[in-house]
Amino acid sequence: MSFFDQSSLEILAARVGLALLGDRLTLAVAESCTGGWASQCLTSIAGSSAWFERGFVTYSNAAKQEMLGVPEQTLAAHGAVSQAVAVAMAEGALRHSRADWALAITGIAGPDGGSAEKPTGTVCLAWTGRGVGTTTETRHFTGNRQAVRAQSVACALAGLLERLAPPADGLPA
């Protein structure tokens, strides 16, 4: 995924907003490495109060536990940058809000903090909805801190849009 600037992220956020609004759905966001950037893009859209329910910036492990209910055991066993924690963040955001959908982003934006197992640019994302199963994926983005964070926001928003939009031909994907 290439670098995304603020304008292109806001265009993507507007598309998410239209999809949510069209289905009368709302969204909660749980962010770590993006520090609220996804929420900022979403709320930059005029009228977002109709579909953006709330955002959680849970940069520390303590915040993930206190605000989202991420189990200490999950953090200890898998680390903050893991699909297990991304799932717990998304499900916690849904549980601690009135939203219909939630997404979560946790990762290593750099320039430091990476390891051989989880290099800089490793980002775990999760999406969940009421009555819908939780899905997750891990991505490995390249570039500087800004580029990794921008790609994370773009991937999270695009992933939600895919989950909200039915296939164009009406057939299951």
Contact assessment for residue 1 and residue 154, using Cβ atoms and an 8 Å cutoff = yes
**Domain containing residue 58: CATH number:** 3.90.950.20
Strands of 9-83 (E only): list them: 27-31, 52-57
Report how far residue 66's alpha carbon sits from residue 160's, in angstroms, rounded to the nearest whole number.
25
**What is the domain range of residue 117?**
6-164
79 belongs to a structural domain: yes
- Over residues 73-108, the pLDDT tens digits come to 999 999 999 999 999 999 999 999 999 999 999 999
What pLDDT is stored for residue 1 in this prediction? 43
Kindly report the pTM of this predicted structure. 0.94
36-40, 63-67, 129-133, 168-172: range with lowest mean pLDDT: 168-172
Average pLDDT over residues 49-63: 98
| CA-to-CA dists, residue 137 to 78, 80, 83, 95, angstroms | 15, 14, 7, 21
Number of compact structural domains in the chain? 1
- Over residues 102-118, the pLDDT tens digits come to 999 999 999 999 999 99
**Residues in Cβ contact with 40 at an 8 Å cutoff, skipping those fewer than 6 apart:** none
172 belongs to a structural domain: no
171 belongs to a structural domain: no
- Amino acid letter for position 58: T
